[in-house]
Chains A and B, each alone.
Chain A
Amino acid sequence: MKFIENIGEVLIKLFSSLGKFILFIIFFFKYLFRPKFYFKNNLSYFFNIFIESIPIIALTGIFSGMVLALQSYTGFSRFSAESAIPNIVVLTLTRELGPVLTGLMISARVGSSIAAEIATMRVTEQIDALKTLNTNYYNYLVTPRVLSLTLALPIFVTLVDFIGVLGGYIVSVHRLGFNDNLYLLNTIDFLSLGDYLSGIFKAVVFGFIISSVSCYCGLFSDKGAFGVGSATTNAVVISSILILSSNYFITELFF
């Protein structure tokens, strides 16, 4: 009996949180289209995210491309298909690894910081202070973060794609002995606009997931240091799970 009670309790909490999150998204869109748009705030947030994330994005891209080239070579050389390596590197990066790895890295780097910042603001009554100053916290806190990250992630993914291909090129040409011109030619010829755009579509969805989940976890965090910690962990874990699961459905969509 106790076991069923516990399951019921978990389910109620789950659906209650889901309902709150849906309401949160509805409010976000309501205030997005009926805005008091803090342009300076939006712009500065976008640049902050951008500048802070570039190093981690560059490292993700270069090492993914390099490892991908090496691993592909290990497999493909077994049936003399080494020439497919440029194609595999560029296709895997643009359609799959670029958006997913960038999403996961940004969730850890930016999502956690958004959740921790907003949860701290909640704990220290700064959110209440915003209300007393007649400032809508959706317009002031949520909109800049969600818009910035949703717009920034496609740029990050483009960078990861580019740097990843560069990493693959470096390893293939300097370590595996590929002809440099042939490698580049194969890469460019094989890549279609559709491959790139499917990755970009994923990036937009992942950017929205990370930012909205992180803002939600921060805004509805429990009080105290424990609340801030939980909000941060929940933001990263929930974002990562949603990125990986939604990735499958988007892949099906573009299959």
Chain B
Amino acid sequence: MKIEIKNLKKKFNENYVLKGITLTIEKNKSTIILGQSGCGKSVLIKTIYKLFDIESGSILYDGKSEVDIDKFSMLFQYGALFDSLKISENIAFTDFINNKTNFKKKVYSLMNDVGLDKSIFDLYPSEISGGMKKRAAFARALYKNPKVIFLDEPTTGLDPINSDKINELILRVITKRKITAVSITHDIKSAIKTGDNYYFIDKGVIQDKGDCKKILKTKNKIFKSFISGAKY
């Protein structure tokens, strides 16, 4: 699915978080949204997902303004697994709450895809590690075979080794399943590894865009200072 965003504006309590974002998410490509904490990255993807209304501007999904959000999935920053449900029930949530019971095979297959051991099938989120939670949340996001997956800082809170594993996993799965991916991150290494195109947001507007493989060659001063960690 191709998503085109034109002059998107979004405000909370009179403060504009997004001040006219224009970008294109190409079909079956991995688009990375980069930016400092609080620059509006999460608001942007939640707005694209239709979790928030927009103030002005437009979002077109394959050329149409209406979309069935069942074609979307999201991996939240800290997983957002439901504490009161087992891992298997979390992964197969939509079937589980509709009292369908034949999800075991599909859950095992997804757990295998994301590198989760079968032994955690009946455990609760509080009983597994942060890395496992991310993988379980990723499996839940894949359960409904989405056309577009939104990844909100997928490596946050993980050590470098686990971050790398999650990046490899995301890359492998979205390539294999031909999913359009939109990832938020402020980790340049992850962006280069998992992305095709990038957009850099600062103060609610797009400051730079380009090919992820050429991120380090950017000429944009603000983005350069973001990469190097220096003050602009």
Is B168 on the interface with A (CB-CB < 8 A)? no
A74–B146 Cα distance when bound, in Å, is 72
A132 contacts B73, CB within 8 Å? yes
A110 to chain B, nearest CB (A): 15
The answer to whether B72 has its CB under 8 Å from any CB of chain A is: yes
Q: Give the residues in chain A near B73, CB-CB below 8 Å.
A: 132
- B1 to chain A minimum Cβ distance, whole angstroms, is 16
Nearest A residue to B99, CB-CB: A40
The answer to whether the Cβ of A124 comes within 8 Å of any Cβ in the partner chain is: yes
Please report the C-alpha to C-alpha distance between residue A2 and residue B232 in the assembled complex, in whole angstroms.
40
The interface stretch among A92-100, A133-141, A152-160, A192-200 is A133-141
**Would you call B94 an interface residue if the criterion is a C-beta within 8 Å of the partner chain's C-beta atoms?**
yes
A121 to B72, CA, bound (A): 21
Q: Closest A-chain residue to B143, C-beta based?
A: A133
CB-CB under 8 A for A129 and B97, given A134-B69, A134-B70 = no
- Interface residue tally for chain A (C-beta within 8 Å): 17
* B51 and A128 within 8 A (CB): yes
Q: Which residues of B contact A132 (CB under 8 A)?
A: 49, 51, 69, 72-74
In the complex, are the beta carbons of B80 and A133 less than 8 A apart?
A: no
Are B94 and A133 in contact (CB-based, < 8 A)? yes
B49 touches A126 (CB 8 A): no
Determine the residue in chain B with the shortest Cβ distance to A38: B97
- Answer whether residue A125 sits at the interface, using C-beta atoms and an 8 A cutoff: yes
Residues of B within 8 A of A41 (CB): 97
Q: Are B94 and A134 in contact (CB-based, < 8 A)?
A: yes
Inter-chain CA distance A134–B72, complex, in Å, is: 10
B55-111 interface with A by 8 A CB criterion:
69-70, 72-74, 76-78, 80-83, 93-94, 97, 99
- Taken together as a complex, chains A and B put the C-alpha atoms of A166 and B93 apart, in Å, by 46
Interface residues of A in 20-67 (CB under 8 A from B): 38-41
The interface residues of chain A lying within 8 Å CB-to-CB of B76 are 125, 128-129
Q: Does A131 contact B (CB under 8 A)?
A: yes
Q: State A39–B209 Cα separation when bound (angstroms).
A: 49
In whole Å, how far is B45's beta carbon from the nearest beta carbon of chain A?
A: 11
B46 within 8 A of A: yes
Residue ID in chain B nearest A44 by CB atoms: B84
> Would you call B94 and A128 a contact (CB within 8 A)?
no
Which B residues touch A135, using CB under 8 A?
A: 93-94, 97
* B74 & A129 in contact (Cβ 8 Å cutoff): yes
CA distance A124 to B97 in the complex (A): 20
Q: Known interface pairs A134-B69, A134-B94, A135-B97. Does A125 touch B49 (Cβ–Cβ under 8 Å)?
A: no
Chain B minimum-CB-distance residue to A139: B97
Interchain CB contact under 8 A, A129 and B80 = yes
Chain A to chain B contacts (Cβ below 8 Å), 9 pairs:
A41-B97, A124-B80, A126-B81, A126-B83, A128-B46, A128-B76, A129-B80, A132-B72, A133-B140
The residues of A with any CB-CB pair to B shorter than 8 Å are 38-41, 120-121, 124-126, 128-129, 131-135, 140
- Chain A to chain B: the 7 pairs with minimum beta-carbon distance, closest first: A129-B80, A125-B80, A132-B74, A125-B76, A126-B80, A134-B70, A133-B93
Besides A128-B51, A129-B81, A140-B97, 17 new A-B residue pairs in contact (Cβ under 8 A), listed by A number:
A39-B99, A40-B99, A41-B97, A121-B82, A125-B77, A126-B80, A126-B81, A128-B46, A128-B76, A129-B76, A131-B51, A132-B49, A132-B51, A132-B72, A132-B74, A133-B94, A133-B144
